[in-house]
């Protein structure tokens, strides 16, 4: 206590000077419009800068929540998009109702094997079942292979075992997408006859003739093709829209009419 | 009350009244308004308390601000030079700073010149910085400070010589 008092006494001139300066500046601020505006402007600038800084920090810590909100919002938009697509294709409302969307986070992913598998954090308890289609906002990801109570594994599009029905968006020529296990950016579009016209940059989408994906979900665009095949089909490279190395959230498509169709086929 | 105190009060009052009635209305070429009251703080004896000097500076600045409607510009410039005066004095006079009349006699002319100039220039710079309070007008701030410092210095120097001779 004594040292504090001594320190105050030692610096009394500075303290008095600072106090009187404050009084003076207060007088300037309250009485002079020039100083009021200038100090107010500086104050606003300073407060703006500090607010931005604190806002950055808050945003960083709230990213997870924001991400979740955005996923939910995207989910709703996806549902609206599908409803619109089906409405424009004059399909029965039953088809629409039979499809629902779910979201999940990827917890395990690989792209460097020939049979890549993705694991998500939702399983049977989250409404996930086998053979559901998995997509992102960019396009097709894969198909649910197996499910446990809380997790599910997906056969990635980058899996040599997977074959997805696809069409050329412009010409509606039907083909199928497979992966040759070489490049994680490119897949192959097979079964497109040489009689079809195509060009580099054409979009490839799902064909709708499968249990997993409705028609029109993007897959990729043609990056290269070879029309010198003797078998009568193009050899087409498709650059996928999804970047499989940085996937984090996915949507799972449910087709509740699968069982009914399968029963019909078995009969 | 000692004779010295009465003399000091008379000196202070005379300078302050002169500033308020004469020099504040000088306004030569719309630029020059000499701050002759600075002589009070220049000739203030070091043997007196520095804290008292800061309060004296505050009161003087306040009176001039009220008269000139400058809202605190004079006050801040004055309390700043009062606060810095001890350092300026030591910087200008060195070991001779302890002499009772170092500011007017018994010291080298160059030391006294630098002491006067430092106080006047610092005061002018602070005062005009606050008056214009805009970085874009920095040229004008320096121009006004320079012109007013020169005129103030001449008047204060002449007055101090007169006091010294008497």
How many CA atoms are closer than 13 Å to the CA of A216, on its beta-carbon side? 9
Determine, for residues A20 and B79 on separate chains, whether the beta-carbon distance falls below 8 Å. Answer: yes
Confidence of residue B149 (pLDDT cuts 50, 70, 90): very high
Q: Which of A172, A159, A163, A227 is nearest to A202 (CA)?
A: A172
Question: For residue A174, is it left (φ>0), alpha (ψ between -120 and 50) or beta?
Answer: beta
Instruction: Render pLDDT for A146-174 as a digit per residue (tens, 0 to 9).
Output: 888 889 999 999 998 899 999 988 888 88
DSSP H or E stretch at residue A254: strand A249-255
Is A151 or A33 the better-scoring residue by pLDDT?
Answer: A151
Question: Predicted ipTM?
Answer: 0.85
DSSP assignment letter at A173 = -
In chain B, residues 57-86 whose CB comes closer than 8 Å to chain A? 58, 61, 65, 71-73, 75-76, 79-80, 82-83
- The yes/no answer on whether domain A100-266 falls in CATH 2.40.10.340 is yes
What average pLDDT is seen over chain A? 83
**What pLDDT sits at residue A64?**
81
**What pLDDT sits at residue A93?**
43
Q: For residue A148, give the 3-state DSSP assignment.
A: coil
Lowest mean pLDDT among A177-181, A251-255, B51-55: A251-255
Confidence of residue B123 (pLDDT cuts 50, 70, 90): very high
**What pLDDT sits at residue B25?**
83
CA–CA dist A28, B70 (Å, integer): 8
Instruction: Render pLDDT for A203-213 as a digit per residue (tens, 0 to 9).
Output: 999 988 877 88
Instruction: Render pLDDT for A78-122 as a digit per residue (tens, 0 to 9).
Output: 777 776 766 666 544 444 444 577 888 888 888 888 888 899 988
Confidence of residue A5 (pLDDT cuts 50, 70, 90): confident
Angle at B152 between CA B150 and CA B158, to 5 degrees: 100
CA–CA dist A224, B144 (Å, integer): 75
**What pLDDT sits at residue B95?**
66
Confidence of residue A18 (pLDDT cuts 50, 70, 90): very high
Residue B142 at interface with chain A, using a CB cutoff of 8 Å: no
**What pLDDT sits at residue A88?**
64
Residues of A in contact with B61 (CB under 8 A): 24
**What pLDDT sits at residue B125?**
93
Residue A46 at interface with chain B, using a CB cutoff of 8 Å: no
CA–CA dist B60, B80 (Å, integer): 13
**What pLDDT sits at residue A186?**
92
Tally of CB atoms within 10 A around A142: 24
Q: Tell me what percent of chain A is helix, strand and coil, each rounded to the nearest 5.
A: 40, 30, 30
Query: What are the structural domain ranges in chain A?
Result: 2-61, 100-266
Judge whether residue A215 has pLDDT over 60: yes
Q: Token digits for B81?
A: 């030079």
pLDDT, average across residues A50-55: 78
CA–CA dist A240, A242 (Å, integer): 6
Residue B137 at interface with chain A, using a CB cutoff of 8 Å: no
Q: Token digits for B47?
A: 């043997």
Judge whether residue B97 has pLDDT over 70: no
């Amino acid at each position: 206590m004594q040292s504090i008092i001594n320190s105050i006494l030692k610096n009394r001139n500075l303290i008095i000077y600072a106090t009187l300066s404050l009084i003076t500046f207060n007088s300037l601020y309250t009485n002079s419009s020039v100083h009021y505006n200038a100090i107010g402007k500086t104050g606003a600038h300073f407060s703006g800068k500090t607010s931005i800084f604190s806002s950055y920090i808050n945003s960083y810590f709230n990213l997870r929540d924001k991400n979740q909100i955005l996923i939910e919002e995207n989910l709703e938009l996806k549902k609206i998009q599908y409803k619109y697509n089906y409405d424009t294709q004059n399909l029965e409302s039953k088809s629409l109702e039979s499809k629902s969307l779910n979201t999940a986070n990827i917890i395990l992913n690989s792209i460097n094997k020939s049979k890549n598998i993705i694991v998500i954090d939702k399983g049977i308890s989250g409404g996930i079942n086998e053979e559901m289609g998995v997509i992102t906002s960019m396009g097709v990801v894969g198909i649910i292979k197996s499910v446990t109570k809380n997790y599910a594994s997906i056969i990635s599009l980058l899996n040599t075992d997977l074959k997805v029905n696809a069409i050329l968006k412009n010409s509606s020529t039907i083909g199928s997408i497979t992966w040759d296990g070489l490049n994680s950016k490119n897949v192959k579009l097979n079964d497109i006859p040489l009689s079809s016209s195509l060009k580099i940059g054409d979009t490839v989408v799902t064909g709708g003739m499968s249990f997993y994906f409705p028609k029109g979900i993007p897959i990729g665009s043609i990056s290269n093709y070879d029309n010198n095949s003797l078998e009568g089909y193009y050899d087409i490279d498709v650059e996928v829209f999804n970047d499989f190395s940085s996937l984090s959230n996915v949507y799972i498509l449910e087709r509740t009419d699968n069982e009914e169709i399968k029963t019909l086929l078995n009969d | 009350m000692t004779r010295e105190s009465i003399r000091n009060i008379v000196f202070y009052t005379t300078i302050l009244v002169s500033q308020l009635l004469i020099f504040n209305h000088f306004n030569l070429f719309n630029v020059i308004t000499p701050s002759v009251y600075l002589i009070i703080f220049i000739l203030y004896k070091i043997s007196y308390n520095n804290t008292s000097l800061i309060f004296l500076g505050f009161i003087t600045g306040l009176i001039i601000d009220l008269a000139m409607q400058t809202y605190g510009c004079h006050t801040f410039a004055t309390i700043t030079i009062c606060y810095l005066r001890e350092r300026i004095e030591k910087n200008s006079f060195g070991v001779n700073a302890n002499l009772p009349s170092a500011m007017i006699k018994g010291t080298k002319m160059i030391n006294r010149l630098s002491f006067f100039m430092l106080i006047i220039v610092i005061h002018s710079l602070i005062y005009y910085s606050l008056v214009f309070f805009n970085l874009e007008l920095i040229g004008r701030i320096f121009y006004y400070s320079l012109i007013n410092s020169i005129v103030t210095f001449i008047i204060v120097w002449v007055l101090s010589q007169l006091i010294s001779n008497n």
